[in-house]
Every structure is written in structure tokens, then in C-alpha cells.
A and B are shown apart, each in its own frame.
Chain A
Amino acid sequence: MKTRGFNSDDVHRCCTGKLKVVFRSRKHHNGWFRVDGKKVCRITIPMGHKPLPEKTFVSMATQLLLSRDEMASLVECTITRDAYTQMVRERKPVA
């Protein structure tokens, strides 16, 4: 599993394509992941195309209620949207 070298575009593509997150842009890109119509997780993606720094990548994973390795799996598409939604349900009360 690739644990380093993801860039903003990789994460952005994953969030928009797989998680159906709609982003807005200010200094960074921001978007919400919804479960049952509720906004559950807010992901922040820095601008730019360089590889994301390690601590920043972990912070982004934390925003999505994931560990760094889980986040890497999500971006690499080994975690599906349904699987991710189930993980979120287990980690945070949605109702």
C-alpha cells in the first residue's frame, strides 16, 4: 500500500468520485460527506499538486474519521463507498 506521495488531486478525485463530496474553495477546498442526509464529515484539501505532507495527510484522514492507512486505502480505492459509510456509522452517531 502506498502510504506516501498522495497529492491533493488524488484525494479530491476520491472524494468527489467515490464519496460524492461537493467542494467549495477558499484558501483550501472544503466539502461535506453525508450519511442519511446529514453532514457527518468535513474534509479539507489544500490547494496544489505536490505530494501532501505527512501530518497534513493524517489530519485529513482524521477529518474523515480514518487512520492514515485507512485513508490511503480509501484513496487507492480498496475501500468502497459502502464500506466507508459503514465505518463512519460505527465511529460516529449520525442521528
Chain B
Amino acid sequence: MQTRVQCDGVGDTDAVAKLPVWFMTDAVASAVTEAAPVRYSRGLLDGDKCASSTTSIGVIHMVPQVLQVPINRLVTYSLRKPIACMVEPDDDEWLAQVPDIPQVFGLGKTTTLAVQALMDEIESLYDDLLESDDFTPDWLALRSYLKGIIEPR
């Protein structure tokens, strides 16, 4: 994920850094699978000092952006492949959404809670779709898609 940061370092006032999706907090990582490749024990946070390859040390000021967080499991179901989740600020809360499944979202006070709410929403939708067949064709198509990626634990 490419995240835009502003760096107060001398000669480097508008740096663009490539950071892993785990740069925010350990809490975000804990919302996804244990198998997720956490590369930083504690990610870069607003106010942290940083250095680029070309300039001296500066202070990071994170510009609110959309974060990409892979979901590798649901609450009680497993996933055959990760679901790409986007988390973005929404007033004083966080909104988590899945581009592949625009019918669901999760809202939470923190990124972790938003992702957890989204995981619960996906599972709740899947359970709903398995209950009966009285859905419009697009929902039945979504059910087929979800059946392909969700499996019992």
C-alpha cells in the first residue's frame, strides 16, 4: 500500500513512503489472521521520527488515508482466500468496507472494531443467504461467490 506522509526533515517536506498495511497498530493486525505477515512490532504513528534514504531525520504527520487490511478469517468461518478490506476515517469513527462485497460495511470507534464489525457483517450476510432461496438474482450470485471463499472452521 502506498501511503502519503509529510516529513519535517530538512529537504524532505512531502515524502511518499511505501509502508506495509500493518503500519498503524498491532490492534489492526490482531483483527486478522495469525498468519498475517506482521513486519513491524509497532507501526509508524503520527509524530514518530523517520528518516528517508536521502534526507535527515524528520517527524511523520500521517494524512488520513484509506487503509487496506486483508481479512483472512471470519468470526466462526474460515476463508479459502483473503478478502481485501478498506478502512477509512468517517467523522470520529472508522468505516470498513469490501470492494468485492459492497453490500456490507463495518463501523467502529477504532480500526480494529470496524474490521471486526465487518467480519461479523460478512458472516451475518452469509448466514442470511443460506437460510432460504427467496432472494433476487444478484443476491443468489453473491451467495455462490461467498460459498466459494467461505468454509466452516
Contact = CB atoms under 8 A, between A and B. Distances in A.
A38 B140 CA distance: 11
B124 A39 contact: no
B135 A92 contact: no
Contacts of A94: 136
Given A53-B107, A56-B90, A27 B117 contact: yes
Interface stretch (B20-28, B47-55, B97-105): B97-105
Contacts of A46: 107, 117
A38 B134 contact: yes
A35 B101 CA distance: 22
Interface in A23-62: 24, 26-28, 30, 32, 37-40, 42, 44, 46, 53-56, 59, 62
A71 to B, nearest CB: 14
B124 A55 contact: no
A37 B103 contact: no
B117 A28 contact: yes
Given A39-B135, A39-B136, A39-B139, A56 B105 contact: yes
A59 B98 CA distance: 12
B116 interface: yes
Interface residues of A, number: 23
Contacts, number: 64
A27 B75 CA distance: 12
A42 B103 contact: yes
Given A28-B121, A62-B102, A56 B128 contact: no
Interface string B132-153: 0011111100000000000000
B137 A53 contact: no
A47 B128 CA distance: 19
Contacts of B88: 55
Nearest to A92: B136
B120 A27 contact: yes
B124 A26 contact: yes
Interface of B: 88, 90-93, 95, 97, 102-107, 116-117, 120-121, 124-125, 128, 134-139
16 contacts: A27-B106, A27-B121, A28-B106, A28-B107, A39-B136, A40-B136, A44-B121, A53-B92, A55-B88, A55-B90, A56-B90, A56-B93, A56-B95, A56-B107, A62-B102, A63-B103
